[in-house]
Amino acid sequence: IGIDLNIPTVGDQTTVVCVLPRGTEEGSSLVLDSRRFELQANLPVSFTLWSSTSRQGDMLGGVITTNVEDLHPHSPLVTVIRFGKRSTNINIPVKVVTKFTEVGTLEIWCESQVSEHRWRLQFQLRKDTAQIRNVRNVRKDTGLLIKNPQIIADEAIEKANTAIFQVFGSTTTEEIGKTIDNNPVELLGKLEETLGVGRDSWPLEIIRKLSDYLIEVSEGRQLGEKFEARWLNLYGFCLRPGFGDPVDDWRLQQARKLYHRGLYFLDDEQCQAEWLVLWRRVCGGFTKGQQIDFYERYASQLLGSRTRKRVRLNQQVERESWRALASMELLPIQNKIELGNALISRIQQGQMGENEFWSLGRIGARIPFYATIDTVVSPAVVTRWIDSILTINTSQDAF
């Protein structure tokens, strides 16, 4: 299994510790007494399991540095080891016990040396590397697999973390906004300068690290309207599209806590708009039920209902409401049709802006971005929408 010794490796080399020597019989239990290990807690981590059909003589607990081409990767195990009530990121000294079960699974038990806790890591040895390939395909399809990705030094990433903390890490409003170091408006530019590339060139691995930094200082949103607006915008950018990295399920769980908490500055229109932009960007990681919940919360202010009239919204908030709802590809088809019909009515009434056509295009798309094909609105309905648009006589260039 892969380990971190804080020692640089060369090229495509990796460092692993042998937890299951060749020839170990099923049902065996092995204790790695010869090594001391530390387990990183309260932080999403990935455990990479490797195997080899050619290596001979590797002993239990032996540390090996070798080329990755000599090893076969199994699907990584991504999890969060919970320890303590305050969820502080700490390293726990552990004893490692390996169990090779009769059903072909490898269990690695990490037994705390400072408490009575023990954690089980379970690997299915008979799986292939489909998960690894699927993650790569998702990154490619979403545009987050950057061709010739930038190499960003760890030191730059740590400086970016510091910049984020300087803006959002304070719990007091004293001296806030008086210098560039804690001015939220300047943060994005400072991150681009620190990382050495524009934000559109930040690789997926980098933006996910930034999203983890941001969630740690989410309470910094309450320092002011500009703080909340900037935090929401940057967090959504770094977590988009809500999937594509093995740890994203855990990240979305953290994001959902923010969703239920709501805005700190409810009356600020920029915060309202950025709130909607955030959920539009990450809704690809929502379940169907979560998307329906979003629809029930926000659709009535655009469509009206039997008990609620349409709400007169700020123009930017209205635009982002439409775009967020249009991006919820898992909504029931009837809900999509209701949204599409409402957009057609707006267009027929002369509201032929870019937003109306963008939203209608997302709702009526023939190939979903992340949903399955059974969520697509029927051709007959989309044809009716197109015919309605084509019959409108106007000289306005809406496109």
Give 78's pLDDT tier (boundaries 50, 70, 90): confident
Give 188's pLDDT tier (boundaries 50, 70, 90): very high
Kindly state whether residues 300 and 172 are assigned to the same domain. Answer: no
- Element (H or E) spanning 227, and its range? helix 225-239
For the chain, state the CA radius of gyration. Answer: 25
Kindly state whether residues 157 and 273 are assigned to the same domain. Answer: yes
Kindly state whether residues 169 and 223 are assigned to the same domain. Answer: yes
Of the residues 128, 155, 175, the one at which a domain ends: 128
Give 214's pLDDT tier (boundaries 50, 70, 90): very high
Of the residues 264, 279, 294, the one at which a domain ends: 279
Taking the C-alpha atoms of residue 255 and residue 261, their distance in angstroms, rounded to an integer, is 10
pLDDT of residue 180: 45
Which residues, at least 6 apart from 167, have a Cβ–Cβ distance to it below 8 Å? 181, 182, 183, 184, 187, 220, 227, 230
Type of residue at 217 = V
Q: What is the mean pLDDT of the chain?
A: 85
2 within a domain of the structure (yes/no) = no
pLDDT of residue 351: 84
pLDDT of residue 74: 81
Query: pLDDT for 27-63, tens place per residue?
Result: 899 999 888 899 888 887 888 889 888 888 899 989 9
Q: How many other CB atoms sit within 10 Å of the CB of residue 140?
A: 13
Query: pLDDT for 304-357, tens place per residue?
Result: 765 566 668 899 999 999 999 999 999 999 999 999 999 999 999 888 889 999
Total count of domains within the chain: 3
Of the residues 262, 279, 296, the one at which a domain ends: 279
Average the pLDDT over each of 111-120, 178-187, 223-232, 359-368 and give the range with the smallest value.
178-187
Which domain covers residue 109, as residue numbers? Answer: 13-128
pTM higher than the cut 0.85? no
pLDDT of residue 201: 86
Which residues, at least 6 apart from 195, have a Cβ–Cβ distance to it below 8 Å? 152, 156, 157, 160, 202, 206
Average the pLDDT over each of 147-151, 214-218, 237-241, 376-380 and give the range with the smallest value.
147-151
Kindly state whether residues 140 and 263 are assigned to the same domain. Answer: yes
Q: 34: which 2 tokens?
A: 């010869």
Query: In this model, does residue 398 exceed pLDDT 80?
Result: no
Q: 163: which 2 tokens?
A: 């910049």
pLDDT of residue 137: 46
Kindly state whether residues 275 and 135 are assigned to the same domain. Answer: yes
Query: In this model, does residue 140 exceed pLDDT 60?
Result: no
Instruction: Select the more confidently predicted residue: 256 or 396.
Output: 256
pLDDT of residue 85: 63
4 within a domain of the structure (yes/no) = no
Query: In this model, does residue 196 exceed pLDDT 60?
Result: yes
Taking the C-alpha atoms of residue 262 and residue 311, their distance in angstroms, rounded to an integer, is 19
Kindly state whether residues 185 and 223 are assigned to the same domain. Answer: yes
Q: 255: which 2 tokens?
A: 């994001």
Average the pLDDT over each of 76-80, 192-196, 229-233, 269-273 and give the range with the smallest value.
76-80
